[in-house]
Structure 1
Amino acid sequence: MNGFLHLGHAFSLSKLEFAAAYHRLRGANVLLPFAFHCTGMPIKASADKLAREIRQFGDPPVFPHEVVEEEPISKEESDLNEGANVVPDKFKGKKSKAASKSSGQMFQWEIMRSFGLSDSEISKFQNPYEWLKFFPPLAVEDLKAFGLGCDWRRLFVTTDMNPFFDSFVKWQMRKLKSMGKIIKDMRYTIYSPLDGQPCADHDRATGEGVQPQEYTIIKMEVVPPLPAKMGVLEGKKVFLAAATLRPETMYGQTNCWVLPDGKYGAFEINDTEVFIMTERAALNLAYQKLSRVTEKPTCLVELTGNDLIGLPVRSPLSFNEIIYALPMLTILTDKGTGIVTSVPSDAPDDYMALHDLKAKPAFRAKFGLKDEWVLPFEIIPIIDIPEFGARAAEKVCLDLKIKSQNEKDKLAEAKKLVYLRGFTEGIMTVGEYAGRKVQEAKPLIRTKLIETGQAIIYSEPEKKVMSRSGDECVVALTDQWYITYGEPEWKKLSEDCLSNMNLYSDETRHGFEHTLGWLNQWACS
């Protein structure tokens, strides 16, 4: 109830209304109560947004609306919009700079004005409970106009503003806890730093369904002496922090990759260790209790990828005692840590990037690379894959006739072929797990790297997640209460219950089966 009902509500409601009316006409005694969903973050996020705008711009606020220059619609755009009621000689829509900077999102105050509220009324909505008094009665008027055949005596809202509903939820939680169905545990979860709490699906402006993605960060120790720009780090252990999903391939490292124009920093992890990585990755780590100051990454020096090129590092498991940081132009700084391990035996991207550096002296010269950082390093076979052999990346690149690291589509196809077959059918040929399947060796190697302090666990959202409050979410290691839906005995009771239910469509049954299949521990706060 952070606004008016809209057509989507009417559409969903129509199914219920038609079913209720149909059964009434058949002579059934139909009970249709009605409730307003007021728990969760949407109302609180809107109220907080309003409060921030008042603090920043005043009450009533004066927003910085600087109109961007209007541009006529081009002939090409006109042709593209043919049939879409666009008149070619009209102008593109105006947008304030403030709106442009906020990804087109309106200020909350403006949204409230669009509801017909006066400036003197809007300020009260900084209090979340004000929304509960204002919007549900308006929704009732609309629902009555819609003709909803419900029992209005049974109307309620779902918050502690309704003492009956509140006491019901408290009873439910106490009951589940006494049965051992609610536990407290540390878990990685999508988290909004601005709201200071986990950001569940319905609390998100974008990124519904996105889960934490877990990586292994390989600690590549920078070999002293440090370059002058890193002088402030003297006396500390400095690591390039490379995030990988494939720790079992670390035996084959020939170098690591950095983005030349990428922005990096040296962040304090504890009193003695410093990780070089992107600020975004450091923020995620800080919320995972891996920063000298919890939830606040402390950067000792800002760096670019160019500052890192040529750094000698010792990397865990690598057969090469010293490897070097080299430039790669396709690194994404919104994924992982911005530092990437290079295993050209099993990664087509790495194979082609190293091949290009070796084959093109002008390319090496452009980035000031010394030949000894690049030329001595050869492919190290580490995994044998049926049909691909022990130099899988090289074979696939040759088979697909890939000529350079810029052929992204072909490299994506090569990667898919090698990674899938490598995991499902590959056999380790080196290390203490030689002769074992990759899928068996992978967790064992990862555990050993973590236990010996050569690597750490790192999580980040699979894709970008924005909260309704407008900030980008991280993955935090949080102490939360969980309902243990996946507990075997409870799950079996649910499955038995489902098997005895008379459902009208297979689609409904499959929906229940799917959810019972994945639902395990679910955060209840």
Structure 2
Amino acid sequence: MNNNFFNEIERKWQKIWEEKKVFEPSVDESKPKFFLTVPYPYMSGLLHLGNAYTFARGEFIARYKRLKRFNVLWPQGWHITGAPIVSKALRLKEGDEKIIKDLKEDGISEKDWEILKTPEGWAMYFIKLNKEAFKKFGFSIDWRREFYTSYLHPWYNKFIEWQYRKLKEKGLITKGTHPVVWDPKVNSVIGDHDRPDEYAGIEPIEGVIIKFYTKYKEKNIILPCFTLRPETIYGVTNIWVNPNAKYILAKVNNEYWILPNTIVIEELKNQDFNVEIIEEININDLLGKHAKNPLTNEEVPILPAKFVNPEIGTGIVMSVPAHAPYDYIALLDLTKDEKWKDFANKALSSMKSLFKVEGFSEFPAKDIVEKMNIKSQEEIEKLEKATQEIYSKEYYNGILKEIYGKYSGKRIYEIKEDFIKELIEKNIALKYYTLPIRFKSRYGGVCIVKIVKDQWFLRYSDPEWKKLAHECVNQMKFLPEELRQVFHNTIDWYKDWAFTHKKELGTPLPWDPEWTIESLSDSTIYMAFYTISHLITKIPPEKIEDDLFDYVFLGKGDENKLIEKYGEIIKEMRREFEYWYPVDLRTSGKDLIQNHLIFYIFHHVAIFPKEKWPKTIAINGWVLLGGRKMSKSLGNYISMLEASKKHPIDVIRFLLAYAGNTGLDDANIELSLADNIKKELIEWYNFCIENYNKGREEVLLIDKWFENVLNKTIKLAEEKYEKMNFKDVINIVWFDLDREFKWYLRRINNNPNKEVINKYIVYRNTLLYPIIPHITSEILEKIGIDPLSLKWPETEKIDETIISLEDYVKSVRSDIEKILNIIKKKDIKEIKIIVAKREKYEIFKELKDKLKEENLENIVKELINRYKNYSNLIIKVKNNLGLIENLFERDLEIKALEEAKEFLEKEFKAKVIIELEENSFEEKAKNALPGKPAIVLK
């Protein structure tokens, strides 16, 4: 069977689902509802497998919940707000080579380019293609509720206007200043369209300048060290400057600073610093001199490092080699320089460990440099990767050591903002914005960060608003649970947010329409819009006013008057919202924790009553493809549409599930496994069709064992689905269960029980249906089961005795194998398995039963008095209570061995005799114990 087989069943079942409106739920008060949402994707181009991973997680849980008889709603919209779409459309119009190259690589026909030359055309074109991809992937979405953002969808536009008027009424909007990317050459904000494509999306980063003190020409001067990690100030061993850069002495706000003579000066001036250049200096005159750490008062040397970029930050940085790979490797480089080696060795020997991080020693930077075999500052790609890994792990998991005083024992993300605040209050630090890299705009000027005034802000700093957000987090469920504290801490440190931009697609701010509501801020409560999006379009948008949304979402207003104004449909809208809301699950990538998901909570608590607040948030990590970052420039990229042409959809879905579990760890999609999985799925299909309803009627212990395995598998799979640990589901249902089934077949010489084989086929297909629904639906239909009526299997009580009995058979087999290995004989003709005397079982059982209530010593004394011939055995058990852990009735043990006799004979190609100790003439018979028979080989 080739891909055609899969393609046919994909088309068949997707057509059935669509025609029967399987994923278009109605309000049904008799059923529990489950409303899930996945953040709508941005339509700047084709979606790739990394996007598919996050959406597949929503898909898997949606289908699982339907099996559990929930009334499931999964709607989907498209995000087109913001500058990137505008930028790409205009650049295509201008003939930009990079955009043209990207379109060609994505297989976009040149005849379609004309459509893409307007932002509206671009957005609608890629919505169409990405919707096609979602449908090809079999996503169980209610497409009736589809919508897109911005003024291009006037009903959504009205909804966002209502939202922001509500926030303004509540006093949660204010005006203030805001950092923007700026070209001083043309005195203009620089959006994505105004810069080369490779610099799209680069925004100001907020850091801290820490004031180290030194002397220059008898003057007390400041070395302003820019850092993104001010909390590492306790670990500074030296200061870095670039020996090849030009520096100046300047008067900055009445203090003397040393600064690089670069664009940094312009950036400072545009952030309200008063900068007066006094003179050029030779920075080499400061090398080897010392500067004072303003917090610890320690004197640290000023040393040269070529990795310091004089155009970023302040061109001067502090060195923390214990926790920064760049600093550690730069010091190692200096140990090879005769002039600086003593300084470098001293700095390395004085490294301070600041945080305890699981998986690392006292010095994580040293660990990762050695692990990645980094040899010099020239290995920038490796150093960047090492830095990213260390910083991320330390930020979320690093426990602060005693040196931090009141903050010790806490994690960095919990205290960072408070720590910075204290440094600023002590006048040893100040906030500063810069760009992560320098670039020129399309107008030729080098871009900087400027603070602009009269910007509109959401007041996330408001303590009462934060209080409500914390309350929401407290009552929510998080997958994984450890995210709860991350959300609390993020809410705490959030400051006011500039929520309007210019020259972008989006919803104009109702009271100041020259501004547009930016993309993170028009996507906070749109989940509520899903509940009515299929109905509201029946009302002319120009007729809609805030009273409609007040009634539908808040239950306010005179219903009769509103019906007269809008029609009976508003009652249906209110009913839909009341039934479906709140959102039961929001599943997303971890990149949205710091912004969208926090805003999602803030806006819900500001606008909706408590019973409509979000219930659950689930998170997944970033996505790797074949163990590497997904990137077009690296050639490690595949769109959803391209993947759907190369591989069967169920194979891709299988690999998406197998890529990872819920949590912050990154997922890894291994397309190299696709051919193997395809082959295995075909084998599974053939096996099911050929073996359903075939087998013997007689029921053996091993059949009961496998039924228990099935029940355990159902229970385990249910637990994993509920936690959205889909990789675990694959491991349990595909790999582990397959291994157990192969053992079952081996045990019964490929002659399974009919009822057991039927259960196996039906249950396994059902458990896998949420992940691979096309082929499982086809199998179930072929064997006479309607997949549209499928439900999660009911689990029967698990009989641990039956499971333990099979473990017992396995242990007997293992013991025989061990003896054979010891005696090194291959020509065994006979194996005797000798079952212990009944008295031994009585002793073991009495000891086990009485241990629950009585003292061990007393029990032993009593048993020895009654069973004097077994005193040595009783003492042996006393010293090893594990012997009585799995105890069966003697007759059951004998039955298990009798049923396994044929299996053991086949395994060892020898006659097997089951003997009772009291009837045996073998010397070793006396060694037989309950659950541990004596074994004699001849």
Query: What's the TM-score once normalised by structure 2's chain length?
Result: 0.32
Cα distance in 2, alignment partners of residues 487 and 412 from structure 1: 29
Instruction: Tell me how far 1:356 sits from its aligned partner.
Output: 3.4
Give the 3 Å change call, closer, same or farther, for CA 401–203 of structure 1 in structure 2.
closer
Give the 3 Å change call, closer, same or farther, for CA 441–389 of structure 1 in structure 2.
farther
| Structure 1 position 255 matched with structure 2 position 247 | no
Amino acid paired to 1:186: T
Cα distance in 2, alignment partners of residues 252 and 308 from structure 1: 21
Cα distance in 1, alignment partners of residues 310 and 519 from structure 2: 39
The runs of 5 or more residues in structure 1 that have no matched partner are 20-171, 292-296, 504-509, 521-525
Cα distance in 2, alignment partners of residues 486 and 217 from structure 1: 29
Instruction: Tell me how far 1:406 sits from its aligned partner.
Output: 4.2
Cα distance in 1, alignment partners of residues 596 and 365 from structure 2: 40
Amino acid paired to 2:114: A
| Structure 1 position 345 matched with structure 2 position 322 | yes
Instruction: Tell me how far 1:465 sits from its aligned partner.
Output: 4.5
Give the 3 Å change call, closer, same or farther, for CA 375–271 of structure 1 in structure 2.
same
Q: Equivalent residue for 1:11?
A: 115
Q: Equivalent residue for 1:283?
A: 266
Compare relative contact order (CA 8 Å, sep 6+) and give the higher one, 1 or 2. 1
Cα distance in 2, alignment partners of residues 518 and 465 from structure 1: 31
Cα offsets for 1:106-128 (capped at 9, x unmatched): xxxxxxxxxxxxxxxxxxxxxxx
Instruction: Tell me how far 1:194 sits from its aligned partner.
Output: 2.8
| Structure 1 position 390 matched with structure 2 position 362 | yes
| Structure 1 position 500 matched with structure 2 position 551 | no
Q: Equivalent residue for 1:421?
A: 393
Q: Structure 1 vs Structure 2: percent identity of aligned residues?
A: 27
- State which of 170, 176, 184 in structure 1 corresponds to 2:175: 184
Instruction: Tell me how far 1:246 sits from its aligned partner.
Output: 0.8
Name the SS of the counterpart of 1:331 in structure 2: coil
| Structure 1 position 381 matched with structure 2 position 353 | yes
Q: Equivalent residue for 1:471?
A: 445
Give the 3 Å change call, closer, same or farther, for CA 245–261 of structure 1 in structure 2.
same
Give the 3 Å change call, closer, same or farther, for CA 426–349 of structure 1 in structure 2.
same
Amino acid paired to 1:357: L
Cα distance in 1, alignment partners of residues 263 and 287 from structure 2: 21
Instruction: Tell me how far 1:401 sits from its aligned partner.
Output: 4.1
- State which of 420, 429, 449 in structure 2 corresponds to 1:455: 429
Q: Which has the higher helix share?
A: 2
Instruction: Tell me how far 1:274 sits from its aligned partner.
Output: 2.4
Name the SS of the counterpart of 2:533 in structure 1: coil
- 1:39-78 paired onto structure 2 within 5 Å: none
Amino acid paired to 1:384: K
Instruction: Tell me how far 1:252 sits from its aligned partner.
Output: 0.7
Amino acid paired to 1:437: R
Name the SS of the counterpart of 1:466 in structure 2: coil
Give the 3 Å change call, closer, same or farther, for CA 380–474 of structure 1 in structure 2.
same
Cα distance in 2, alignment partners of residues 440 and 516 from structure 1: 19
Instruction: Tell me how far 1:197 sits from its aligned partner.
Output: 3.8
| Structure 1 position 311 matched with structure 2 position 343 | no
Question: Which range moved further: 192-201 or 377-386?
Answer: 192-201
Give the 3 Å change call, closer, same or farther, for CA 276–364 of structure 1 in structure 2.
farther
Q: Equivalent residue for 2:225?
A: 242
- 1:474-489 paired onto structure 2 within 5 Å: 474-482=448-456, 483=500, 485=517
Instruction: Tell me how far 1:468 sits from its aligned partner.
Output: 4.1
Give the 3 Å change call, closer, same or farther, for CA 269–497 of structure 1 in structure 2.
same
Q: Equivalent residue for 2:936?
A: none
| Structure 1 position 329 matched with structure 2 position 306 | yes
Give the 3 Å change call, closer, same or farther, for CA 303–491 of structure 1 in structure 2.
same
Cα distance in 2, alignment partners of residues 338 and 251 from structure 1: 21
Cα distance in 2, alignment partners of residues 279 and 6 from structure 1: 32
Name the SS of the counterpart of 1:187 in structure 2: strand
Q: Equivalent residue for 1:212?
A: 204
Instruction: Tell me how far 1:13 sits from its aligned partner.
Output: 6.6
Query: What's the TM-score once normalised by structure 1's chain length?
Result: 0.55
Cα offsets for 1:387-441 (capped at 9, x unmatched): 2122212233333444444444443443333222211211111222221112213
Please tell me whether the aligned partners of residues 322 and 365 of structure 2 are also in contact (alpha carbons under 8 angstroms). yes
Instruction: Tell me how far 1:244 sits from its aligned partner.
Output: 0.8
Aligned length: 339
Please tell me whether the aligned partners of residues 250 and 257 of structure 2 are also in contact (alpha carbons under 8 angstroms). yes
Name the SS of the counterpart of 1:445 in structure 2: helix
Cα offsets for 1:285-310 (capped at 9, x unmatched): 1111112xxxxx42212234423312
Q: Equivalent residue for 1:445?
A: 419
The runs of 5 or more residues in structure 2 that have no matched partner are 1-88, 96-111, 125-161, 457-499, 501-508, 510-516, 536-587, 601-938
Amino acid paired to 1:189: V
Q: Equivalent residue for 1:61?
A: none
Please tell me whether the aligned partners of residues 268 and 300 of structure 1 are also in contact (alpha carbons under 8 angstroms). yes
Please tell me whether the aligned partners of residues 92 and 117 of structure 2 are also in contact (alpha carbons under 8 angstroms). no
- 1:295-310 paired onto structure 2 within 5 Å: 297-310=275-288
- State which of 431, 441, 448 in structure 1 corresponds to 2:404: 431
Cα distance in 1, alignment partners of residues 301 and 91 from structure 2: 56
Please tell me whether the aligned partners of residues 239 and 276 of structure 1 are also in contact (alpha carbons under 8 angstroms). no
Cα offsets for 1:227-255 (capped at 9, x unmatched): xxxx4xx55x4111111111111101110
Give the 3 Å change call, closer, same or farther, for CA 441–6 of structure 1 in structure 2.
closer
Cα distance in 2, alignment partners of residues 201 and 488 from structure 1: 16
Name the SS of the counterpart of 2:424 in structure 1: helix
- 1:87-102 paired onto structure 2 within 5 Å: none
- State which of 166, 186, 191 in structure 2 corresponds to 1:195: 186
- 1:114-193 paired onto structure 2 within 5 Å: 183-193=174-184
Amino acid paired to 1:313: A
Instruction: Tell me how far 1:199 sits from its aligned partner.
Output: 2.9
